[in-house]
Amino acid sequence: MGYKADIQATRFTAATSVAVIAPNVRIKALSVASDGNGAGLVVLNTTSQAGGTNLLTVDVPTGDVYTLHLPEDGIVFPAGVYCSTLTNVTAVTLFTDKYSSPGLTTNNPG
């Protein structure tokens, strides 16, 4: 099986009105770790915390690590990825096809 593109991993630990990953990115998968204090919830939007279209809502069982592989080419976030809700979650790791952009980790070779 061949690979279509390099995958970039970006981790975040809080909801924010600033982009987790700045403009135009496609999420291929994500991994969410519950903090064990109740069911977790992650809501990812197309624009800032106060607005924007909700493109992905993920519920996480208490005390679990949940990994979701999105079918086909994933979900496009045309204006970047914003996290409006992060409840009972320790951290989220996004796996994307974008290779360099503000918010992405910088230690992968180019």
Per-residue pLDDT reduced to its tens digit, 57-86:
999 999 999 999 999 889 999 888 999 999
Q: How far is CA 60 from the centre of its chain?
A: 14
What one-letter code names the amino acid at 5? Answer: A
pLDDT at 47: 83
pLDDT at 49: 58
Q: Please provide the size of the chain in residues.
A: 110
Among 94, 63, 82, smallest CA distance to 22 is for 82
pTM: 0.82
What one-letter code names the amino acid at 78? Answer: P
Distance CA 76, CA 15 (A): 19
Mean pLDDT of the chain: 84
Q: What is the tens place of the pLDDT at every residue in 35-58?
A: 999 999 999 998 875 667 899 999
